[in-house]
Chains A and B, each alone.
Chain A
Amino acid sequence: IAGITQAPTSQILAAGRRMTLRCTQDMRHNAMYWYRQDLGLGLRLIHYSNTAGTTGKGEVPDGYSVSRANTDDFPLTLASAVPSQTSVYFCASSISTSGGRNEQFFGPGTRLTVL
């Protein structure tokens, strides 16, 4: 693989169920991010990780958790899904979280519907 992969591509989930969205990158990037994208709103940061073993909260972290056991993987877990978590979820990575032209590379996204 080259770049970032996400799984599943799409999912319909009953409210109250637990769900883990998977994200894997092979670029050896230190930093990884989870965003949600909703119609009419900009991408909103859920959680991020500056390097393996560390995580931080973004703008909208409630109801979500992440882990970063190694450099490549950054799963996002919804402990008990609610309809307001219906969204498109993008995983992204960058070389680091410092300044400069440190663009983020995005995975293809997961379209999640919570009923």
Chain B
Amino acid sequence: GQNIDQPTEMTATEGAIVQINCTYQTSGFNGLFWYQQHAGEAPTFLSYNVLDGLEEKGRFSSFLSRSKGYSYLLLKELQMKDSASYLCAVMDSNYQLIWGAGTKLIIKP
């Protein structure tokens, strides 16, 4: 079957750096997405990786290793507004997104 694993919850301190990991096993691979979802709101797109390596966008970076079935989202200079759930999703061979359950990130002052 298809599976996306990510930690259920993480806690970090304002101003620090946090890395949220995602491992996947899917039927085919057409890219990996990270979304942010604040409580009670819709998911919003953060990043997309299809080739191995690091994609940087401001305070957020996303890394992909296709051979290891592994990705991480790196958040730098954490702010209180970064408190949210972070969803990892893989596009499979049918071009459908398979979603992880999300990682709830709690930021403490």
Q: Which residues of A are in contact with B by a Cβ distance under 8 Å?
A: 40-45, 48, 58, 90, 97-109
Contacts and interface: CB of A to CB of B under 8 A. Distances in A.
Interface residues of B, number: 22
Nearest to A107: B42
Counting chain A CB atoms within 10 Å of each CB, the highest count among B31, B87, B89, B95 belongs to B95
Contact of A106 (B42, B48, B91): B42
B33 to A, nearest CB: 6
8 contacts: A42-B87, A42-B99, A42-B100, A43-B43, A43-B99, A99-B50, A106-B42, A108-B41
A37 to B, nearest CB: 9
A98 B97 contact: no
Contact of B48 (A43, A45, A101, A109): A101
A72 B41 CA distance: 22
B101 A41 contact: yes
